[in-house]
């Protein structure tokens, strides 16, 4: 096993995404597992405020991630196994996107934790997508339009 230190004060296994935890004040597990629309809206607004500014690259990356999440949601009813696989494989992509754009880090960490809470439950996936959509809407509203 090789390890590298990227100046963060701790060693990580090279080449493997490290588990991340959402921002402590974002209650993503509760949002995904329970049907609480008021909490979803409140927490989406909090996350949107934590996210960095908008440049064209950041907007494009977020749009692509959201499109992927929507496609997974639409595929779920036809082919749950394939959709679940795509959802799980979205986690490394989120890590990669974060490494390229620091403003995406709060979103990435929160979505990764949300993905881990989905399991094989379509309703949970729908709540995660709704949370992402609400966060995106607030972020656009706060930081400026597309």
Q: For residue range 96-105, list pLDDT tens digits in order.
A: 888 878 778 8
14 within some domain:
no
4 within some domain:
no
Mean pLDDT across the chain: 83
Rounded to whole angstroms, how far apart are CA atoms 46 and 83?
29
pLDDT at 5 over 70: no
Domain interval for residue 42: 26-143
For 64-123, the pLDDT digits (tens) are 999 999 999 999 999 999 999 999 999 999 998 888 787 788 999 999 999 999 999 999
Contact by Cβ (8 Å): 127, 31: yes
5 within some domain:
no
* Share of residues in the chain with pLDDT > 90 (%): 58
Contact by Cβ (8 Å): 115, 90: yes
Domains in the chain, number: 1
Rounded to whole angstroms, how far apart are CA atoms 61 and 146?
12
């Amino acid at each position: 096993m090789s390890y590298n230190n990227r100046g963060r004060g701790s060693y990580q296994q090279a080449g493997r995404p490290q588990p991340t935890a959402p921002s402590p004040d974002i209650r993503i597990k509760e949002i995904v597992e329970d049907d609480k629309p008021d909490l979803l809206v409140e927490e989406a607004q909090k996350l949107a405020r934590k996210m960095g500014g908008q440049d064209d690259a950041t907007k494009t990356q977020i749009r692509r991630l959201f499109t992927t999440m929507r496609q997974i949601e639409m595929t779920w009813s036809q082919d749950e196994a394939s959709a679940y696989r795509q959802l799980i494989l979205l986690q490394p992509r989120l890590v990669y996107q974060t490494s390229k754009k620091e403003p995406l880090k709060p979103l990435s960490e929160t979505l990764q934790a949300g993905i881990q809470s989905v399991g094989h439950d379509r309703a949970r996936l729908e709540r995660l997508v709704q949370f992402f959509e609400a966060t995106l809407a607030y972020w656009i509203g706060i930081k400026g339009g597309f």
